[in-house]
Amino acid sequence: MRALLTFAIPFGLDLAVKATFLFCVTAAALLLLRRASAATRHLVGAFGLAAALLLPALTLTLPRIRVPLLPDVRPAVGRHAALSPAMLEEISSAPVAAPPNPAPAIAPLPTELVPAVAPPRPGAVGSASFGWLAVALWGIGTLLIGARLATGWARVRRISREASPIRDLDWLAERQRLARRLELDRRVEMLESPEVPVAMTTGLLRPILLIGKAARSWAEERRRVVLLHELAHVKRADWPALVAAELAIALYWFHPLAWWLGRRVRRDAEQASDDLVIASGTKPSVYAGHLLGIFRSLASPAHPVAPALAAIRPHHFEERLRAILDPRAPRRTSPPGRARLASIGLIAAAFAVAAVSPWKPRTIETCARPGSSRASFEGAAPAAAVAEPGARGRDDVTDSKSAAPPRCQPRSEETTGAKVRAVPAVLKEVSEIARGFVQASRRAPRDGGDWYDEAMQLHREERYPEAIEAFQKAIEAGHREAAATYNIACGYARMGENDRAFEWLRRAIESGFDVASYLSRDDDLENLKSDPRWGELKKLAREQKGDRHEAEGRAAASRLERLLAKPPSTGEPFFGVGRDLLKADRYDLAAKAYQAAAERGYRAGTALYNEACALSLGGDASGALDRLARALDAGFDQPDLFRTDDDLDAVRGDPRFAELAREARDLSLPGFGASWGRRSSANRARWREAAHRFEAYAAHHPEKGRAWFNLGFASLAGDRPEAAADAFRKALELGYRKPTTMYNLACAYARVDQKDAAFDWLFRALDAGFDQAGTLRGDDDLDNLRGDSRYRQALSIVRDREREKDKED
């Protein structure tokens, strides 16, 4: 331990100096790039902190290059005072020279060779004490900051374990659609937890998106922008950069630049994700309005300590809103060439800084008694070089009063190092220190909970055999046996071992696990759905749901009866109870609830689609196909669900279903990846191509209001407002989504500066029930109207409706 601390003092000071240089280079690069995009700044800051995090390992492993620039101020401690990190390289690589005629181990040591190292200089003891204190403070600070990070990690993992999977088709479909838009090819698991204020993401190989309970009441547009922001974090791989930044802060907690860079990395990650949301087609003003509304609704917007990336955090929120609303802000979603060069330069700088030893050789004094020769001093046996006064018997010690004063001469560390090479004990200690400094071990699980957590992590890392073994350990320890049994089945399914997967699924059913709730939603079981045993297993799982499932179904049916007896003003309650009835397998009542929601205009397209699913599960194939057709006419725009939703298995083989699936693809509004925004010239051209496609479709199907609406939307996005107005009028004549169509007509006329017509259609839209206050406030299509008093009147109407709705809630 003494040798380790002796080594740590000069090594720590060496590391602190090098980290300071690296932090200064990173900060200078960020200042030079202050007008660059947030993505560029985030990349540079993250690489700078990651490079500093690699410094200890690089310093220990890279060959040493002497560049004497700074006076060596590192404290000299104990009998290895002459050792420095620069000399450790020489010691570990130099051969040990044996004396020509080694003396017997019991031979007395010549008196003139006793003082191999000069006595401590005045102040050396104080310097050493300061060094010990500095090492202790550094270690304590790193442990405290590391404990802060570990506590946050444990809390996020606990929330993830206790969270419920989101099975709402609307949320799942929205996630898939936005993932396609961002060209995100990784699966993102969505969970719901009451401990999450808004939303946050965590994880790398198997990222998790945690949503708060309050999200159920969000409007569709708010849900979309929050999901888009969180998926942007996953697309950009912000989580590993955040973890690296937090670890660097823990290691260099004493350094103000480390904290400053850590805050910049987190802040730039949020702004870069905001830029991706805006680049995907969201208007900056609308997006800022949603963020502000969410922020004001939270009593405490704080989130768990890293590792987690949250959509809303209190720090720098005002600066973030200004960046969103700044029309001159660069919003490049991929770093430019100079950012890549800067990042490569930071990594190269880390290697260079780690290899360089910047200290000038320190002068120390070596002494010998009168009468001794240089040759005899240098040719002494290895044991003599490290002998300390008092190591021999009392009769062997020369009387200090009778001895002549020692003859001393200054020598540099380079010359003194020749004597130290002959010290086998020091070589052994230094070798052990160097090896131990870079070794790390993973704590073995201690109980069932540890085994279960370890298994979940292994499963997310796709290490399925190891995960299965760990889940079995959890079962043996009696921890969450039913859930572990089900997860073992998922692991076997992922490995393609269907027989074992079905065996363990049956065990999970027998243990009481609610397998039926996961069969149609869990991607881990995708390989089993084509197996003939799948249908039998689903039937068995539904039969085993037990009294709890029946009680939930009865409660949902009772709620529906109360709603039908005293219908509410909107269809939202019907939509919610329909979801619960569908989950409880009460298909006839679920269809009735969704029909009531659609009749009242609440998310009509989605409500009709869910009604079709309920009818399909209940065996009414004709009714299901009819509702699917009506869902498309009402604007349902998730064509992938036609292919993946097993609720429609009963109608999938019908020729009419194939026609509806093709129509769903033809009528789907396009997404253009991460560059979906409407204002760039490239996207205007793409939208015009889409408008030609919708125009051809509308010519063949003039009775389809949705075709005309999509034509109007694509024309408006393609900067052709006159053509958009004509198409929206035809959609309105066919009764398609009247409030929204009227609002878009107002936008089209505002774009051509026909203010009277624009306000006429805007007030018609408000009278018809259009209530998207955020859209009205932030839509730049209405910029020509904002200075008019009629715009303030329209905005006042929407605000009054918002207040009335809040009172009802």
Return the bridge partners of 357, or none.
66
DSSP one-letter code for 99:
P
What digits encode the pLDDT tens for the residues 267-297? 888 888 888 888 777 777 777 777 777 776 6
pLDDT exceeds cutoff 50 at 96: no
Q: How many angstroms separate the most distant Cα atoms in the chain? A: 120
Least confident of 342-356, 581-595, 606-620: 342-356
pLDDT exceeds cutoff 90 at 580: no
12-16, 263-267, 325-329 — most confident range: 263-267
For residue 266, the model assigns a pLDDT of 85
Q: Are 171 and 199 in contact (CB under 8 A)?
A: no
- For the segment 250-274, the average pLDDT, to the nearest whole number, is 86
For residue 79, the model assigns a pLDDT of 39
For residue 415, the model assigns a pLDDT of 40
Domain of residue 679: give its range.
Answer: 673-808
CATH of the domain at 610: 1.25.40.10
The pLDDT > 90 percentage for the chain reads 17
Place of tokens 């009063």: 401
5-9, 136-140, 170-174, 794-798 — most confident range: 794-798
- In this structure, the answer to whether residues 631 and 501 fall within a common structural domain is no
For residue 467, the model assigns a pLDDT of 93
Say which amino acid occupies 98.
A
3-class secondary structure, 122: coil
For residue 317, the model assigns a pLDDT of 65
What digits encode the pLDDT tens for the residues 517-559? 788 778 889 888 888 898 888 888 877 665 566 777 888 898 8
Q: Distance (Å, rounded) from C-alpha 214 to C-alpha 205?
A: 28
- In this structure, the answer to whether residues 143 and 261 fall within a common structural domain is yes
361-370, 375-384, 580-589 — most confident range: 580-589
- In this structure, the answer to whether residues 677 and 661 fall within a common structural domain is no
Q: Distance (Å, rounded) from C-alpha 775 to C-alpha 608?
A: 25
Q: Distance (Å, rounded) from C-alpha 204 to C-alpha 266?
A: 16
For residue 157, the model assigns a pLDDT of 81
pLDDT exceeds cutoff 90 at 491: yes
Q: Distance (Å, rounded) from C-alpha 377 to C-alpha 379?
A: 6
DSSP one-letter code for 210:
E
3-state helix, strand, coil in the chain (%, to 5): 65, 5, 30
For residue 729, the model assigns a pLDDT of 94
Burial grade of 124 (CB within 10 A; 0-12, 13-18, 19 or more): middle
Measuring CA to CA, which residue among 287, 310, 289 is closest to residue 300?
Answer: 310
* Structure tokens belonging to residue 697: 């479709």
Q: Residue 317: CA atoms inside 13 Å, Cβ hemisphere, count?
A: 17
What digits encode the pLDDT tens for the residues 708-726? 999 999 999 888 999 999 9
Measuring CA to CA, which residue among 389, 411, 408 is closest to residue 400?
Answer: 389
Q: Are 372 and 414 in contact (CB under 8 A)?
A: no
- In this structure, the answer to whether residues 644 and 693 fall within a common structural domain is no
90-99, 355-364, 473-482 — most confident range: 473-482
CB-CB neighbours of 690 under 10 Å: 21
Q: Is residue 392 part of a domain?
A: no
Q: Distance (Å, rounded) from C-alpha 692 to C-alpha 694?
A: 6
- In this structure, the answer to whether residues 704 and 793 fall within a common structural domain is yes
What digits encode the pLDDT tens for the residues 192-229? 888 887 888 888 778 888 888 777 777 777 888 888 88
- In this structure, the answer to whether residues 189 and 236 fall within a common structural domain is yes
- For the segment 481-492, the average pLDDT, to the nearest whole number, is 91
Instruction: Write the CA distances from 588 to 514, 648, 741, 808, integer angstroms.
Output: 22, 15, 33, 30
- In this structure, the answer to whether residues 579 and 653 fall within a common structural domain is yes
Q: Is residue 366 part of a domain?
A: no
Phi-psi domain of 66 (left: phi exceeds 0; alpha: psi -120 through 50; beta: other): beta
Provide the pLDDT confidence category of residue 95 given band limits of 50, 70 and 90.
very low
Instruction: Write the CA distances from 604 to 413, 462, 600, 623, 637, integer angstroms.
Output: 82, 40, 8, 16, 12
What does residue 693 show for φ and ψ, rounded to 5 degrees?
-65, -45
- For the segment 153-159, the average pLDDT, to the nearest whole number, is 82
For residue 404, the model assigns a pLDDT of 44
Q: Is residue 108 part of a domain?
A: no
- In this structure, the answer to whether residues 653 and 536 fall within a common structural domain is no
Q: Where are the beta strands (DSSP E) in 265-421?
A: 309-310, 356-359, 363-368, 407-412
Average pLDDT over all residues of the chain = 74
Q: Is residue 376 part of a domain?
A: no
Number of domains in the chain: 4
Residue ending a domain, choose from 515, 544, 573: 544
CB-CB neighbours of 133 under 10 Å: 10
Cα angle 344, 251, 129 (rounded to 5 degrees) comes to 130
Q: What is the dihedral of CA 665, 668, 671, 677, to 10 degrees?
A: 160
- For the segment 769-796, the average pLDDT, to the nearest whole number, is 83
- For the segment 67-90, the average pLDDT, to the nearest whole number, is 50
- In this structure, the answer to whether residues 700 and 737 fall within a common structural domain is yes
Q: What is the dihedral of CA 468, 474, 479, 482, to 10 degrees?
A: 30
pLDDT exceeds cutoff 90 at 761: yes
- In this structure, the answer to whether residues 170 and 45 fall within a common structural domain is yes
pLDDT exceeds cutoff 70 at 585: yes
Residue ending a domain, choose from 641, 666, 691: 666
The pLDDT > 70 percentage for the chain reads 71
- In this structure, the answer to whether residues 147 and 9 fall within a common structural domain is yes
For residue 183, the model assigns a pLDDT of 76
Q: Is residue 255 part of a domain?
A: yes
Q: Are 306 and 149 in contact (CB under 8 A)?
A: yes
Residue ending a domain, choose from 627, 651, 666: 666
Cis bond before residue 307 (omega within 30° of 0) = yes
Q: Is residue 1 part of a domain?
A: yes
- State the pairing for strand pair 199-202/309-310: antiparallel
pTM over 0.75: no
Instruction: Write the CA distances from 642 to 358, 613, 629, integer angstroms.
Output: 66, 10, 12
- In this structure, the answer to whether residues 537 and 622 fall within a common structural domain is no
Q: Is residue 510 part of a domain?
A: yes
Range list of H helices, 545-603? 546-565, 572-583, 587-599
DSSP one-letter code for 48:
H
Q: Is residue 586 part of a domain?
A: yes
15-24, 407-416, 731-740 — most confident range: 731-740
For residue 549, the model assigns a pLDDT of 67
pLDDT exceeds cutoff 80 at 408: no
Range list of H helices, 645-704? 655-666, 681-700
Helix axes 705-717, 681-700, angle to 10 degrees: 160
Q: Residue 292: CA atoms inside 13 Å, Cβ hemisphere, count?
A: 16
All residues at 6 or more sequence positions from 528 whose CB lies less than 8 Å from its CB, including other chains: 493, 498, 501, 502, 534, 537
Q: Residue 310: CA atoms inside 13 Å, Cβ hemisphere, count?
A: 21
334-338, 391-395, 476-480 — most confident range: 476-480
Return the bridge partners of 409, or none.
366
Q: Distance (Å, rounded) from C-alpha 103 to C-alpha 115?
A: 19
What does residue 306 show for φ and ψ, rounded to 5 degrees?
-50, 150
What does residue 370 show for φ and ψ, rounded to 5 degrees?
-60, 140
495 vs 769, which has greater pLDDT?
495
Q: Distance (Å, rounded) from C-alpha 276 to C-alpha 271?
A: 9
